[in-house]
Amino acid sequence: MAYQPNQPQLNWCQYTLDGITYDIPPEDVDGNIQVIKEADALAIATRIRDFNNTSSERKLDAIKKIRLRKLKETDWYSNSDVTMPDNIKTWRQSLRDIPQDNTTEAEYDLLLARDADKNLTNSIWENAL
C-alpha cells in the first residue's frame, strides 16, 4: 500500500492497494480544492477495487434482467388457447440457456453490447417472430 499526495498542479493523489494504483481526485470543500487525506484515499481505493471486483456479477445481473423481460414479452404464447410456434419455443429455450456456467466476462460483454442508439446488438435478443 502506498500513498502519494500532490501530483504536480492537479492536487490528485495515488493510492496503491493490492498492487493496483488508483488515481484519486481532490475534494472540493466550499470552493477550496484539497488533496484527499491518506485514510480517505484508502477508503476510496477500497470502494473502487470492490466495485471493479464485482463487474462480472453486475453484468450477469443485467443479462438476467434482459432475459426475463424478453421471456415475459412472449409469455402470452403459453396461454392454453394459443399454439406456440416452434421457432418461439427454440428462441425462448436459447434465452433460458444463457448464461452457461462457463460463460466468461468477455462473453457477458458480447451479450450486453449495444449500438449507438443503445439497442442490444447480440442476435440472441432478437425475437424469433
Among 92, 101, 52, CA closest to 69: 92
What average pLDDT does the chain have? 85
Q: pTM of whole model > 0.85?
A: no
Which range scores top for mean pLDDT: 8-12, 114-118, 123-127?
Answer: 114-118
State how far the Cα of 108 lies from the Cα of 6, in Å rounded to an integer: 38
- From first CA to last CA, the distance across the chain in angstroms is 56
Q: Which pLDDT does position 127 carry in this prediction?
A: 78
Which pLDDT band holds residue 38 (cuts at 50, 70, 90)? confident
State how far the Cα of 57 lies from the Cα of 99, in Å rounded to an integer: 12
> Beta-carbon neighbour count of residue 24 at 10 Å?
22
* 81, pLDDT greater than 90: no
9: left (phi over 0), alpha (psi -120 to 50) or beta: left
